[in-house]
Chain A
Amino acid sequence: MTDTTTTPETTIESDPKVPVIRIVREFAAPPERVFRAYTDPDVFVQWLGPDQTSVRLDRWDAVSGGSYRYTMVRGSEELVTFWGSFHELRSPDRLVQTQSMEGVGDGAILNTVTFEELPDGRTRLTDTTLADSFEVRDMILASGMDEGVIAGYAKLDELLAAG
Chain B
Amino acid sequence: MAEDRLSRVFGALADPTRRDIVARLAVGDATVGQLAEPYDVSVQAVSKHVKVLEDAGLVTRSRDAQRRPCHLEAEVFDLMTKWIERYRRAAQERFRRLDAVLADMAEPGRKSDERKGEAS
A interface list, Cβ under 8 A from B:
1, 3, 7-8, 10-12, 14, 16-17, 21, 23, 25, 27-29, 33-34, 36-37, 42-43, 46-48, 50, 133-135, 138-142, 144-147, 153, 155-157, 159-163
| Stretch in B34-42, B47-55, B60-68, B97-105 with 4+ CB within 8 Å of A | B97-105
Chain B at the A interface: mostly helix, strand, loop or mixed?
A: helix
Q: Which of B14, B86, B94, B98 contacts A134 (CB 8 A)?
A: B14
Q: Which of B3, B79, B101 contacts A37 (CB 8 A)?
A: B101
Q: Is A25 a contact partner of B79 (Cβ separation < 8 A)? A: no
How many cross-chain pairs have Cβ atoms below 8 Å apart between A and B? 119
* Bound: A135/B88 CA distance, A: 19
| Extra A-B contacts (18), CB below 8 Å, given A37-B102, A141-B83 | A10-B95, A16-B16, A16-B20, A17-B16, A27-B95, A46-B101, A48-B94, A50-B90, A134-B13, A135-B10, A135-B13, A142-B83, A144-B86, A144-B87, A145-B90, A155-B86, A160-B2, A160-B79
State the interface size on chain B (CB cutoff 8 A). Answer: 44
Q: Is B102 a contact partner of A27 (Cβ separation < 8 A)? A: yes
Chain A at the B interface: mostly helix, strand, loop or mixed?
A: helix
Q: Is A47 a contact partner of B79 (Cβ separation < 8 A)? A: no
CB neighbours (8 Å) of A46 from chain B are 97, 101, 112
In chain B, positions 81-116 with a C-beta closer than 8 Å to chain A are: 82-84, 86-103, 105-106, 112, 115-116
* Bound: A28/B99 CA distance, A: 7
Q: Using CB atoms, name the residue of chain A closest to B100.
A: A47
| 3 A-B pairs closest in CB distance | A135-B14, A163-B75, A47-B97
CB neighbours (8 Å) of A139 from chain B are 10
CB neighbours (8 Å) of B87 from chain A are 12, 21, 140-141, 144-145
CB neighbours (8 Å) of B82 from chain A are 159
